[in-house]
Structure 1
Amino acid sequence: MELKSLYHDLIVDHSKTPRNFGNPTECTHSASGHNPICGDEVTVYLMIHGNTIEDVKFDGHGCAISTASASLMTDAIKGKTLTQTHALFESLHQCLTASADETTAGTDLGKLGALEGVKQYPMRVKCATLAWHTLLAALDQSDEQTTTKKVTTE
């Protein structure tokens, strides 16, 4: 099977059956995001202990790319340190926004690499990064209290 086809199948799978979807009973950090262009809305909930994301969930609604990206994100960051999570965001963001002459070779995104094809459709990059920007807003909270921040892709 061709890699492009595998990536397509992975995005379809995560959009139709998102992992870690739902509103948790408790969390330490959360943020909500909205993409007014596409209508995507997402809330990211984190359970952070020390420097580690012990659990992550999301809810909301959006296009297939937005939902798949949020689902893939939750799988990728669960159990990661905050430093690892920030580095993963930077790698994905670079992959999706790099110009044709900039290289992202050597960046191992794992399953998140399935989102790389989105950069061919600049209007959809915001769909793919909404959950990630919302994650950063949740991580930007300085205390362990549950607070909801709102972000937008405008």
Structure 2
Amino acid sequence: MSFDNLDTLYRQVIMDHYKTPRNKGALEDSSMTVDMNNPTCGDRIRIQLKIEDGVVKDAKFDGEGCSISLASASMMTQAIKGQKLDDALRMSQIFSDMMLGKELDAGGLDLGDIEALQGVSKFPARIKCATLAWKAMEKGVQEN
């Protein structure tokens, strides 16, 4: 597949998550809730997780922001559901590395649609948009 076709596919995946977000809404019986915002651009996100026995049983998000921010939150909640907390945090580190332009090494974890956000690393001003939900999840897990 050519770079142009791959770039187009990735853009389509991002727009699909933005227009039809997965796991958007409130979680009534959450174990943790974290609100974060990006004052630079106005993106704001609320991440809620239901954690049982060290496993993310459910994940939801809500908020307002650009397509990158909301698509990333959608992808993240999909990816961490059913994961052990350690694996969710490892995914977050892998994602951060990817945003820094490092070569993607999922270490056996299924990142799902998250790879579609690789191109964001070429736009430094958008990296904070893409990482906002991940940083909120990290903060919540570390504070719990």
TM-score, with structure 2 as normaliser: 0.91
Q: CA deviation at 1:105?
A: 4.4
Equivalent residue, structure 2, for 1:115? 117
Task: Please give the root-mean-square deviation of Cα atoms over the aligned residues, in Å.
Answer: 1.4
Unpaired stretches in structure 1, ≥5 consecutive residues: 143-154
- 70, 74, 96: which one aligns with 2:73: 70
Equivalent residue, structure 1, for 2:34? 31
Q: CA deviation at 1:97?
A: 1.1
Provide the C-alpha distance between the structure 2 equivalents of 1:55 and 1:110, rounded to a whole number of angstroms.
17
Equivalent residue, structure 1, for 2:103? 104
**Which secondary structure state, in structure 2, belongs to the residue aligned with residue 140 of structure 1?**
helix
The reply to whether residue 52 of structure 1 matches residue 60 of structure 2 is: no
Provide the C-alpha distance between the structure 1 equivalents of 2:99 and 2:88, rounded to a whole number of angstroms.
17
Provide the C-alpha distance between the structure 1 equivalents of 2:90 and 2:98, rounded to a whole number of angstroms.
12
Unpaired stretches in structure 2, ≥5 consecutive residues: none
Name the aligned partner's letter for residue 48 of structure 1.
Answer: I
Provide the C-alpha distance between the structure 1 equivalents of 2:72 and 2:17, rounded to a whole number of angstroms.
8
- Asked whether the equivalents of residues 91 and 109 of structure 1 are also in contact (C-alpha less than 8 Å), the reply is no
Provide the C-alpha distance between the structure 1 equivalents of 2:73 and 2:94, rounded to a whole number of angstroms.
16
Q: CA deviation at 1:62?
A: 0.4
TM-score, with structure 1 as normaliser: 0.85
> Percent identity of the aligned residues?
41
Greater per-residue helix proportion: 2
Q: Which has the higher contact order (CA 8 A, sep 6+)?
A: 1
Provide the C-alpha distance between the structure 2 equivalents of 1:105 and 1:132, rounded to a whole number of angstroms.
17
Equivalent residue, structure 2, for 1:149? none
Q: CA deviation at 1:109?
A: 3.5
**Which secondary structure state, in structure 1, belongs to the residue aligned with residue 143 of structure 2?**
coil
